[in-house]
Amino acid sequence: MKSAGSREEILEGVAKKAGDNLERSINCARSTLAALQEEFELGGGEDLLNAATFMPGIVSRKETCGAVIGGLMALGLVYGRLNTQDPDWGSLEAEKERFRLKEKARRFCDVFEKELGSTQCGFLLPKIMGPEFEEYDGTDSKERQRFLEHGGAEKCRVPPETAARIAASIMLEE
């Protein structure tokens, strides 16, 4: 782990970093993932960040929030399995371990949803930006400009900050 300090200082620091990243990149998935990668010195590097490029709202389709995806990707770096062909993964012991690890990802999503009301970008954006953004189309350049003019870069810090804090909290349990 990169930072020293209390649990709360680490959580606040990684949340702030995710929010700062968002203001610079306007990409919830990359912002969240990059903050967690840096804080916890996770692997994946730039290739993984590049893989997260189209994740905000699943290519702006108002589906899963990119911050959720970035948080899950970071959890996968910590708790995931490298070898998909591991013959031991079918054992009873491995099955118990898989469910223990899956519970962490499930809890991450549940806490995010409880705190923000949904894991769906299409729900979160109008909640954060206002009802005039219910029909927002992130693939339209005029809509994107309207988003930025209404303070979207600052207002949309909330999902990445929340996701980074929740994921970090789970990572700090062990």
How many domains, in total, are found in the chain?
A: 1
d(CA 173, CA 137): 38
pLDDT over 80 at 3, yes or no:
no
Q: Which two tokens stand for residue 109?
A: 């999503």
Mean pLDDT estimate for the chain: 91
- 29 belongs to a structural domain: yes
Q: Is residue 148, in this structure, part of any structural domain at all?
A: yes
So what's the pLDDT on residue 71?
97
pLDDT, tens digit, 9 for 90 and up, residues 88-137 = 767 788 788 888 889 999 999 999 999 999 999 999 999 999 999 999 98
Percent of the chain with pLDDT over 70: 96
Tokens 């009802």: give the residue: 131
Q: Which residue in this structure is represented by tokens 């899956």?
A: 102
For residues 67 and 33, the answer to whether their CB atoms sit within 8 Å is no
Q: Enter the DSSP assignment of 157.
A: T
The reply to whether 42 falls in a domain is: yes
The pLDDT of 10-38, averaged and rounded, is 95
In a domain, 120, yes or no: yes
Q: Which range marks the domain in which residue 110 is found? A: 7-81+93-171
- What's the gap between Cα 42 and its chain centre? 14
**Angstrom distance (rounded) from CA 71 to CA 109:** 9
Tell me whether residue 2 is in a domain.
no
In a domain, 88, yes or no: no
Domain-located, residue 136: yes
8 neighbors 36 (Cβ within 8 angstroms) = no
pLDDT digits over 136-152, tens only? 988 899 999 999 999 99
